[in-house]
Amino acid sequence: MKRIAILLTGLFIGFTALAQTDTSAKEQVDTVRIGKMIIIKKKGRDEEGERTSSTVITYHRDSKPKKISTNWLVFDIGFNNIDDKTNYASASIQDPATGFAPGATDDWFDLRKGKSINVNIWLFMQKLNLIKKYVNLKYGLGVELYNFRYEQPIKYGTNPTRVTMDNSTSYSKNKLAADYVSVPVLLNFNFAPNRKRNVGLSAGVVAGYLYSSRQKTITAADGKRKKRDDFDLRPWKLAYTGELSFGWVGVYGTVATQSMFEKGPDQTPYAVGLRFGW
């Protein structure tokens, strides 16, 4: 009986020590997740039995990058101009009966470069991830607004379209406006996909449909006038486009593939400016 008592006492002491060891080894862990931030709080005891606590903050990253990312309301502001390759001696320009601008010279369509403004409003821009966010297909939908502000007092007539020089009064404003519903499609290269401020390069095309065009003038004799017509502008526009992006600010440029007029002048529009949004 004495031996059994000693054995039981030894087992009891061993289990008690083991239980104390297990208890001291156990830690109470509380985990709180806020978005991608994970807060881990640990409470326990050290080898001497003193209470300990620690807090660790980590950030969870998605194991797979999002396939599509969207940005709403991207805004462009810049300047537009024309590359004028018109042969002003040709019959399509000078013919008294059918010419686009009889009597015109190569300075008739000169623009006020600082006041010929290009504004684009993109309702949305999306990126489709192709290769780990480094290579993306970028596309969107919006409107392109071109304003060609003329130096000379030229005047557009209609049915048929004909441009004449009007020296009968003083023009304080004379512009041709062309507005397009447009869809850009670009291949985007993102050099810093894991940073908040991405650095990227995009190149592609933008196709547009002419939904509104008008000549707006302000003269001493007639005041403010606005004439709406297509003025023989092409209903469709296709342009090469590119951009450099630095976070939420970028630089863009576009150049059309052909003249904006269906007949008459050979004038190819282009634009450069700043892009805000993405």
- State the pTM of this model: 0.76
Cα–chain center distance at 82: 23
Q: What is the pLDDT of residues 202-246, one digit of tens each?
A: 999 999 999 999 999 999 999 999 999 999 999 999 999 999 999
Q: What is the mean pLDDT of residues 177-199?
A: 91
Residues facing 265 on adjacent strands? none
Q: What is the pLDDT of residues 56-115, one digit of tens each?
A: 776 555 556 579 989 999 999 999 999 999 999 999 999 999 999 999 999 999 999 899
Alpha helices in the chain (DSSP H): 2-25, 91-94
Which is more confident, 21 or 32?
32
Indicate the helix (H) or strand (E) that contains 250.
strand 249-256
Cα–chain center distance at 70: 10
Indicate the helix (H) or strand (E) that contains 151.
none
Return the domain boundaries, the chain: 26-61, 68-276
| Two tokens, residue 17 | 């020590």
3-state helix, strand, coil in the chain (%, to 5): 10, 60, 30
